[in-house]
Structures are given as structure tokens and as C-alpha cells.
């Protein structure tokens, strides 16, 4: 029996070495796969970041172009108001109560048109912000009133 045990020992040692070698190769392969997966994930994250950056840049360009179009449209509205004021002055009476009223309307249209042309939408927003800061309580009351009227009009 001693002879069988001695002969079995080298076979066991070879088997242990083979298992150990296979385990080491498996570990190495697993580390390689993990490294490759990490590299792949890093590349994908970089690409996603690049795509997001490009999308944000494009969105900024579109927003800027839209803002420019709105400013141009606002300027056109101001020009149209001034033109309407001139038309009123030419076609409505100039004397009497109706003349004074039409002149007042034309003056208001002209000054409003000039204001819109010169300041644009951004200037009007700044002016509105300043007005609200100087008069917060009336601004809140007006906002509540407008909100109430909008709610009533949508409910009916």
C-alpha cells in the first residue's frame, strides 16, 4: 500500500499544479477582461461627454439664433407701431375733441414703437424687472389678479 501512496502523490501534485496553473490563467484572463471593460467604459464615457458637449453647444447656437429672431421681430413690431401712428395722423381729423384724441393715440403709438425699437425684448425685460423691484407689493397684487382672471377664463 505504501507503494500506491507514493505513486499517487506525484499524480496529485501534478493535478494540484495543473489546477493552480489553470486558476492563475483564469485570474489573468479575468483581470484582462476587467481591464478591457474598464477601458471600454472609459472610452464610452468620453464619447458620451463629447456628444453631450456638442449637443449643449448646438442648443446654445439655436437659442442664440432664436433670440436674434425674436429681437428682430420685436424691432419690426416697434416699426409697425410707428408706421400706424403716422397713418393715424394722416387719416384722422386734427381738430376738435376727436383730433386731440387721435393725436394722443398717435403720440402714444409712436413713443411706444420707438421704445420697442430701441430697447428690444431684453431691454423691456430689464425695465420690467426694475419696476417690480421698485414696487413689489403692487406687482404681487397684479400677478394675483392676472392669475385669478386666467383661472376663471380657463374654467369657463
Please indicate whether residue 8 or residue 36 has the higher confidence score (pLDDT): 36
Q: What is the C-alpha separation between 14 and 24, in angstroms, rounded? A: 15
Query: In this model, does residue 1 exceed pLDDT 50?
Result: no
Q: What is the C-alpha separation between 58 and 152, in angstroms, rounded? A: 40
Tell which residue, 109, 65, 48, 62, has the closest CA to residue 84: 109
- What is the percentage of the chain residues whose pLDDT exceeds 70? 94
Grid cell listed for 88 = 393715424
Interval 54-80: pLDDT, tens:
888 888 888 888 877 887 888 888 888
Q: What is the CA radius of gyration of the chain?
A: 40
Q: What is the C-alpha separation between 42 and 74, in angstroms, rounded? A: 47
pTM: 0.50
Question: Phi and psi (nearest 5°) for 139?
Answer: -65, -40
Question: Phi and psi (nearest 5°) for 92?
Answer: -100, 160
pLDDT in the model for residue 156: 64
Amino acid at each position: 500500500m505504501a507503494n500506491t501512496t507514493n505513486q499517487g502523490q506525484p499524480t496529485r501534485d501534478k493535478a494540484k499544479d495543473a489546477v493552480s496553473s489553470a486558476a492563475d490563467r483564469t485570474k489573468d484572463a479575468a483581470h484582462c477582461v476587467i481591464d478591457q471593460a474598464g477601458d471600454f467604459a472609459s472610452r464610452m464615457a468620453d464619447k458620451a461627454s463629447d456628444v453631450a458637449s456638442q449637443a449643449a453647444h448646438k442648443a446654445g447656437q439655436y437659442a442664440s439664433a432664436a433670440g436674434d429672431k425674436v429681437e428682430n421681430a420685436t424691432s419690426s413690431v416697434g416699426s409697425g407701431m410707428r408706421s400706424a401712428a403716422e397713418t393715424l395722423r394722416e387719416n384722422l381729423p386734427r381738430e376738435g375733441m376727436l383730433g386731440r384724441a387721435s393725436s394722443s393715440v398717435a403720440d402714444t403709438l409712436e413713443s411706444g414703437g420707438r421704445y420697442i425699437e430701441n430697447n428690444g425684448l431684453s431691454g423691456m425685460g430689464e425695465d420690467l424687472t426694475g419696476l417690480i423691484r421698485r414696487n413689489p407689493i403692487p406687482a404681487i397684487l397684479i400677478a394675483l389678479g392676472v392669475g385669478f382672471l386666467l383661472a376663471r377664463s380657463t374654467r369657463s
